[in-house]
C-alpha cells in the first residue's frame, strides 16, 4: 500500500541552526501539507502546497519557514533559524483530491531544539 514517508524520524539541533525535514508524498497525490504537533497538544496546520506553490499558510508559517518541491518526489520543510518553541512533531500529509479527500500522513519527524 502506498504511504507517505518522512525523514529524519528524529532530529536534535541547536537553537539558530537551519533544519530541513523531508517528505515523499504518495506518487499520484497532488496536494501536500505540513502540520505540527507540540507534545500533547493539537495538530496545527502550517502550510498547503499545490501545483508547485503555496496555496494556504497559517500564522505559524512565518518568514523562518519555507517549503519546496525540488524534484518530482520530495516535499521539504525548511526552518531557517530554529527556536526552542519549534520543538514539535512535524507531520507531512498528502491527498489526491482537495475538498473531500482524506489526508494520508507520514509517521512524523520529531524536532528537538536545544
Partner 1 sequence: GNSVTQMEGPVTLSEEAFLTINCTYTATGYPSLFWYVQYPGEGLQLLLKATKADDKGSNKGFEATYRKETTSFHLEKGSVQVSDSAVYFCALNAGYIPTFGRGTSLIVHP
Residues lying near partner 1 in the complex (CB under 8 A): 33, 35, 41-43, 45, 48, 56, 58, 91, 93, 95, 98-108
Closer to partner 1 by Cβ: residue 79 or 104? 104
Please tell me the distance from the alpha carbon of residue 79 to that of residue 15, in angstroms, as a whole number: 11
- Least spacing, CB of residue 93 vs partner 1, in Å: 8
Q: Name the 3-class secondary structure at 81.
A: coil
Please tell me the distance from the alpha carbon of residue 23 to that of residue 17, in angstroms, as a whole number: 20
- Least spacing, CB of residue 45 vs partner 1, in Å: 5
- Least spacing, CB of residue 104 vs partner 1, in Å: 8
Closer to partner 1 by Cβ: residue 48 or 87? 48
Closer to partner 1 by Cβ: residue 84 or 100? 100
- Residue 34 near residue 46, CB atoms below 8 Å: yes
Enumerate helices (H) and strands (E) in the chain, giving the number of each: 0, 11
Closer to partner 1 by Cβ: residue 25 or 106? 106
Please tell me the distance from the alpha carbon of residue 105 to that of residue 94, in angstroms, as a whole number: 7
Amino acid at each position: 500500500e502506498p504511504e507517505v514517508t518522512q525523514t529524519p524520524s528524529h532530529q536534535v539541533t541547536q537553537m539558530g541552526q537551519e533544519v530541513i525535514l523531508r517528505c515523499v508524498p504518495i506518487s499520484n497525490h497532488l496536494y501536500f501539507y505540513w502540520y505540527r504537533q507540540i507534545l500533547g497538544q493539537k495538530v496545527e496546520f502550517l502550510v498547503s502546497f499545490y501545483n508547485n506553490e503555496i496555496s494556504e499558510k497559517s500564522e505559524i508559517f512565518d518568514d523562518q519557514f519555507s517549503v519546496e518541491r525540488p524534484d518530482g518526489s520530495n516535499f521539504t520543510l525548511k526552518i531557517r533559524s530554529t527556536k526552542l518553541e519549534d520543538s514539535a512533531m512535524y507531520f507531512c500529509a498528502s491527498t489526491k483530491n482537495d475538498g473531500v479527500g482524506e489526508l494520508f500522513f507520514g509517521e512524523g519527524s520529531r524536532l528537538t531544539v536545544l
